[in-house]
Amino acid sequence: MTNVTPDVVIVGGGIAGGTMATVLAKNGLEVSILERETTYPDRVRGEWIAPWGVAEFARLGLFDLLRANGAIPVERNVPYDENWPGGAAEQRALDFSKLPPDLPRPLCIGHPTMCIAFAAAARAAGAKVVSGVKDVEVTAGARPTVSFSSNGTAVQLSPRLVIGADGRNSSLRKRLGFSVLANEPHNLLGGMLVANVPDWPRQVQAIGTEDRLHYFVFPQGKDMVRLYACYDFADRHRFAGPDREARLLQAFRLKCLPYADAILGGRPVSPFHSYSNEDHWIDDPTLPGVVLIGDAAGHNDPITGQGLSIAARDVRIVSDILLSEKDWDRAGFEPYVDERRERMRRLRITAGLATKIRVEFGEEARLRRARVGDRMLERQLSPLPAAVIGPERLSTEAYTPETIERLIAP
């Protein structure tokens, strides 16, 4: 580390951090990334980018980078479900090509692939990427300081700004004392990468519920798919133990899913891990000299897959402020704070409704899901489209309790 006073130090070199570093370095700022890992492991993390998030990456000039690294555009979402198996579900499919012209189709791309791609892009743009760092400490202030250990050597930097992008379990956030709000956990969600599924259509994703399992299937590169299962805490034993990968695969023996046999013939190529579903948010993710982005700033319940889109918008708004403002004082980030606060509030409401519809089980829940599906086809007002088109495109009325009650009422 030759320059101890870079413009920006980014703590965390994952997707949010790598994206931010790429954008800032391309625009002439001196940027250093501090990343704990030396390699990016395959974890249960977001690999679906909603259309509104793809639009954000495009605005950042990074759409071609995603495509060059194997991102698959998805043409249709098919709701294979116990209410609508087979052909009935295909008639209800959401055709992403019919979205407004400024919204691209969603993309599916592996999480480690994205991390590697953005770290490489950041380096190519001139950012310094330091991996394997330990003992990161940050002091907030008008001129913050960052200390850490790299290859056994103690280093201290004094940047103009520190950006925290070290994920949902952010150490930086904890050490700086940010207050994190959360709702109650309501179910478990886990995922696994599966190879040898060549018969799964590459441009189709499927989301549905059968019996006591809510599932997702997203295409990945080559012959792979990413499987997700969302289930009640009472059923945690179903996917526990040393054979949990095989158990998850067998859980996709679903009557509603035409391609179940193709999935059952697949081979797990990553561990299966699950975690509780709930929202975490921070009312103000800034301190003097410090801004949090991505999951470090609070994450949405992953039931609607908004994590990557949230991160891309965070990067776009914060980078716009940095590239247009000279002072970089805390007040200058108020537009980011205000926009993010309302964005996350709307996405919390959206995720809460999605959970009630998809991850409550039994006959009453099945009938509710069918009612809501029919009403959505009739274009009744709902917050659910926010997960595809973005939360700001819907009216405030879409997020009210009255609107939700009308949507789910018998």
Question: If DSSP states are collapsed to H, E and C, what string results for the chain?
Answer: CCCCCCCEEEECCCHHHHHHHHHHHHCCCCEEEEECCCCCCCCCCCCEECHHHHHHHHHCCCHHHHHHCCCEECCEEECCCCCCCHHHHHHCCEEHHHCCCCCCCCEECCHHHHHHHHHHHHHHHCCEEEECCEEEEEECCCCCEEEEEECCEEEEECCCEEEECCCCCCHHHHHCCCCCEECCCCCEEEEEEEECCCCCCCCEEEEEEECCEEEEEEECCCCCEEEEEEECHHHHHHHCCCCHHHHHHHHCCCCCCCCHHHHHCCEECCCCEEEECCCEECCCCEECCEEECHHHHCCCCHHHCCHHHHHHHHHHHHHHHHHHCCCCCHHHHHHHHHHHHHHHHHHHHHHHHHHHHHCCCCHHHHHHHHHHHHHHHCCCCCCCCHHHHCHHHCCHHHHCHHHHHHHHCC
The residue behind tokens 């950041």 is 122
Give me the mean pLDDT over the 63-87 stretch.
97
Residue ranges per structural domain of the chain: 8-66+109-183+279-345, 75-98+187-276, 361-408
Question: Contact, 287 vs 270, CB < 8 A?
Answer: no
Encoded amino acid at 395, one letter: S
d(CA 56, CA 124): 21
d(CA 307, CA 305): 6
User: 268-286: per-residue pLDDT in tens?
Assistant: 999 998 999 999 999 999 9
Task: Evaluate if residue 3 carries a pLDDT over 80.
Answer: no
Radius of gyration of the chain (CA): 21
Task: Evaluate if residue 221 carries a pLDDT over 90.
Answer: no
Question: Contact, 173 vs 165, CB < 8 A?
Answer: no
Domains 8-66+109-183+279-345 and 75-98+187-276 share a fold: no
**Structure token pair of residue 150:** 């790299």
Q: Which CATH architecture has domain 75-98+187-276?
A: 2-Layer Sandwich (3.30)
Confirm whether pTM is higher than 0.85. yes
Give me the mean pLDDT over the 379-390 stretch.
98
Q: How far is CA 401 from CA 17, 349, 358, 406, in A?
A: 36, 9, 18, 9
pLDDT (0 to 100) of residue 41: 78
Give me the mean pLDDT over the 18-30 stretch.
98
pLDDT (0 to 100) of residue 392: 98
Task: Evaluate if residue 203 carries a pLDDT over 80.
Answer: yes
Q: How far is CA 365 from CA 54, 271, 369, 387, in A?
A: 32, 31, 6, 21
The model's confidence at residue 37, banded by pLDDT at 50, 70 and 90, is confident
Task: Evaluate if residue 121 carries a pLDDT over 60.
Answer: yes
pLDDT (0 to 100) of residue 42: 75
pLDDT (0 to 100) of residue 2: 52
Helices 15-26 & 111-125 angle (0-180, nearest 10): 20
d(CA 395, CA 410): 24
Give me the mean pLDDT over the 46-70 stretch.
96
Give me the mean pLDDT over the 262-266 stretch.
96
Pairwise pLDDT comparison (402 vs 326), residue with the higher score: 402
pLDDT (0 to 100) of residue 47: 87
**Domain 8-66+109-183+279-345 class in CATH:** alpha beta
pLDDT (0 to 100) of residue 305: 96
User: 122-180: per-residue pLDDT in tens?
Assistant: 999 999 999 999 999 999 999 999 999 999 899 999 999 999 999 999 999 999 999 99
Using alpha carbons only, give the angle 219, 221, 222 rounded to the nearest 5 degrees: 110
Q: Across the beta sheet with 8-11, what order do the strands follow?
A: 128-131, 31-35, 8-11, 161-164, 290-292, 286-287
Question: Contact, 41 vs 136, CB < 8 A?
Answer: no
Task: Evaluate if residue 84 carries a pLDDT over 60.
Answer: yes
Q: Would you call 346 exposed, middle or buried from its count of C-beta atoms within 10 A (0-12, 13-18, 19+)?
A: buried
Give me the mean pLDDT over the 8-23 stretch.
97
